[in-house]
Structure formats: C-alpha cells, structure tokens
Amino acid sequence: MMRGIGASIGVAALLAAGVLNARDGGPAKLALRPPAVGHRCDRGLPLALRFMTPVDAAVACLLVGDGDEPLTDSDTYVGCVKKTCAGTCVLQRRLKKDPDNPGKPGPWGDDPNRPDPNNHRIKRNDDYEYQCICKPPPPPSPKRASIDKDPAFKPFAPSNEGSDSQSVTSEVAYAPKTAGIGEITFYVRDSQTPPTDGPQSGPTNVVVLVVTADGKNHPYATTTDKQHRVTTSIPALIDGSAPTLIEIGTTLEKDGHLDPRAANTAIGDGPVPNTDAVPNPPASGPAIVSGSTAYERTPGRNLVDLGVRGIDPENTRLEIDGRSEGILTAAASTTSIEGELDPNTSEGRHRLRLVSNGQPSNELPFDAVTLVAHPLPPTATGSVETLTIEVHGIGNDPASMLISVSGAATLAGGGTTTSVPVHDGIVEVQLRGTHAGAADVRFKLAVKIEQSPA
C-alpha cells in the first residue's frame, strides 16, 4: 500500500477514473487530476512517486481546495495514491493530533466534508489526514446457468433396488475445499492415470449432489467433458434454501448419499482448511490468499489446496516454478483451488502460483517434502512407544510438526495434541497406550519460510 500525507492516504479505488462511491449516496465525482510536470505530490511518498513524468495510469492525485469556488489548477495537491483494487472507496479522515490522547492521532471516521454529487471537492484542513478504505467489488455474474437451471445437469432420484452407478469405481473425483456463489469446476480421472492434464479415455458419467440448508439432497446426473472436467455455477438458493455443500462422485447410494470416494466442497465464506494466510496478497487481480509452506510428494498425500481470490475457475491453472507440467490443476472455485503435485517433483524449495485468464498471481514459496512415519506396534494399556517421523526436503528451514493422537493412545505426558520441532530431519514423540488396539496419529508440517511482499 502506497502512503501519502505521511501514512494518511491508504488504499484507493477507481481513483484514476475520478470516481468515489460515497457511503450514503451514489457515485460522486472526486476532483482528481494528474500532477503537473515535476509537481511534488507529498513528502510521505516514495521518491519514485514524488515526481511523475509522464503520469502513471495507476496513480492519481487528490486535489484539495480552499473556499467554495470550483477547483482550479492552482489548488493544492494533497497526495498521490496507488490504485490497488477495483472496488469502491469510502473516504475517511482523522485528526493528526488527538486532544484526548497526547502524542497519538485521533480515530478514523467518515469525513463530513467528503465529496457528494453537489460538492465535488474536499475542503482543506491541515489538522486532518485522509485515507480511502477500499471495498471489494461484488462477485461477477456467472457465465453459465446455475446447476438447477442447466439442462446438462439432470435431477434424478436414487433407485430403491441398490446404488445407481454412474461410472466405473476406479474414477477419482477432485473438488475445491471451499466455494462461494458462482462458478465451480471439478475434475474426475482414472485412479491409474498419473497426475497430468493429458488425454484420458473419453467422458465419464458422474453425479453432482448439492446439500441445502434445509437438509435436503439435490442430486444431478451429468457427464464430464473430454478433459474429464465438470463446470457449473452454484446458485444462491435451490428450492428456496441456500446450498451448504456440493459433492461429486460416481455412485449415488439408495440412501441418497454419494459413495465414500466422492469429493466435497463447503459452500460459504469460511477459510480453506489446513492453510495459513499469505502476507500482503495483491488487492486486485488473481491472488493466492492462503496456503501452506510445505506440501508432500507422496502419492495419495500430494494434494495442494490454496485459498484464492479474483480468479476465473474455468480458466485458471497452477504452476510450479513458472511451469504447469509439475502439477495437475484439479478443481477450482471463486475462493479455493486444488492441485495434485507430481510425485517426481524434486524435494526442496519451489514457488507456486496460479494464472487466471493469462494473468499471473503472487507466488507462494514452499518446500516439497517427503514424510516417513516409522510403524508403531499395537499398543497395550500403559505401554509407552516412541513415534519417529522422518522429514525430507526442508533443508535448513526451521520447522515444527503438529501431532494429534486418537484411538488407543494419548501423548505420554497426557493430552492428545502437541507441536514438536524438527531436529536434523527427525520428529520424535512418545505415546502412551490407553487400551489394546491401534492408535490413530495425524500430523501436519509447518515450515518457516520468509515470504516477500506481493
């Protein structure tokens, strides 16, 4: 975020077009003009923006005048701001010195002199500093009919005689972890086919099941395209109730549920599970907003899930180190994307990004790792065993592993969850058996990687 007036002018929207959407009214003209040749915008700006010749199309200067006359070229340039999103902008101001809190600025609040259709100017007051708060634009209208209106998706009921198989059981489905209202794309491939976007043996019949907030299931039969993809649009309501979950699989059981191999997507504004926020993602255009610093190479555990923003799900691909060959782009929505890492990807540091409609996103550095858990013997009541996990591919990056235990064991010191640092590529934790049987141990690796700003 560019700064103007010290740290006063922040995120701006549509400024180069001279449009400001006031919070309590329609579009209001904001007096925005390019700076004169050699004009100094503000001392708080980076040197590169203090003098702009020619004018950067992504930068606009805010004019503030005195008195009630129309703005002229002699009015004061308060500062320059960089466009960072395509949303609307609410102008706020605050006192540079708060009389109630010496040494601190006042709180941000709506500017009572903000422009409106009858006042195309901001009255200057040196006691105040200004910022623009950006509000994201509304999601784009879907390019295709929603699933309940698309003739390619045919509603049907399960048979009472048994399961309704729509395909062979060797097919594996992929779905993004989360989705909002709008487009979503799935992928279905033969489990014996390696992760590649190469051709497969023709289209496949599948079932897409939408679960709504009233608890009803809405199954639709459809067919993948030649690339084994299914794309549809999620509506806000189906039969008056909001969708909460969407699944894709090959077999609908007589109880109305899909087979266990189905993949599912949570519909809503929740975060993508098992991802962490990416610092400073771009405010406009395609962006990776959450992800992981480590992904496994081992087949069956090599899924890559990301939180995203500003993408076209049907026309987005994942890339590793600037190439798409090392990762399968499996499924995408307006809020998340899922890929499958090639097991032959070399261990160590890589960079992940997505490209949507030809526009690249920010990059996410990550380590491609191999995790090897040594087998544990069956537990007995009171027995203590050491679980050892080898971690390959992190180099000298500091890392820790979150371990959770259930089933027939707990941690030796009590509890079921702990974080253990990785030392020389090894994680060790002691488990205590609580009764005879098998212990279920789950682990998640976190690697500390310094990420450069977007």
Measured CA to CA, the distance from residue 290 to residue 445 in angstroms comes to 16
What is residue 239's predicted lDDT score, i.e. its pLDDT?
Answer: 94
112-121, 173-182, 341-350: range with lowest mean pLDDT: 112-121
Which position has the higher pLDDT, 445 or 86?
445
Of all residues in the chain, what percent carry a pLDDT higher than 70?
A: 66
Is there a single domain that holds both residue 283 and residue 390?
no
183-192, 275-284, 347-356: range with lowest mean pLDDT: 183-192
pLDDT tens digits along 141-154: 567 899 999 999 99
What is residue 91's predicted lDDT score, i.e. its pLDDT?
Answer: 55
Is there a single domain that holds both residue 388 and residue 435?
yes
Residue 4 within a domain: no
Which position has the higher pLDDT, 337 or 203?
337
Is there a single domain that holds both residue 50 and residue 107?
yes
Tell me which long-range contacts 156-159 makes (C-beta under 8 A, separation of at least 24): 156/219, 156/220, 156/221, 157/219, 158/219, 158/252, 158/253, 158/254, 158/255, 158/256, 159/254
Query: Please, which pLDDT band fits residue 135 given cuts at 50, 70 and 90?
Result: low
Last residue of a domain, one of 349, 369, 389: 369
Residue 127 within a domain: yes
Q: How many domains does the chain have?
A: 4
User: What is the model's pTM?
Assistant: 0.67
Residue 146 within a domain: no
191-195, 399-403, 432-436: range with lowest mean pLDDT: 191-195
Q: Give the dihedral of Cα atoms 317, 319, 324, 330; nearest 10 deg.
A: -50
What is residue 134's predicted lDDT score, i.e. its pLDDT?
Answer: 53
**DSSP 3-state assignment of 94?**
strand
Cβ 22 vs Cβ 115: under 8 Å: yes
Which CATH number is 358's domain given?
Answer: 2.60.40.10
Measured CA to CA, the distance from residue 139 to residue 217 in angstroms comes to 26
Which position has the higher pLDDT, 107 or 128?
107
Is there a single domain that holds both residue 129 and residue 45?
yes
List the domain range (segments joined by +) for residue 359: 276-369
**Does 59 have pLDDT greater than 60?**
no
9-13, 170-174, 367-371: range with lowest mean pLDDT: 9-13
Is there a single domain that holds both residue 255 and residue 281?
no
Measured CA to CA, the distance from residue 132 to residue 163 in angstroms comes to 57
Q: Which residues contact 323 (CB under 8 A, 6 or more apart)?
A: none
**Does 84 have pLDDT greater than 90?**
no
Residue 224 within a domain: yes
Last residue of a domain, one of 135, 166, 187: 135
For 358-388, give the DSSP string.
TEE---EEEEEEEEEEPPPPPB-TT-EEEEE
Cα-based distances in Å from 443 to 280, 376, 406: 28, 15, 12
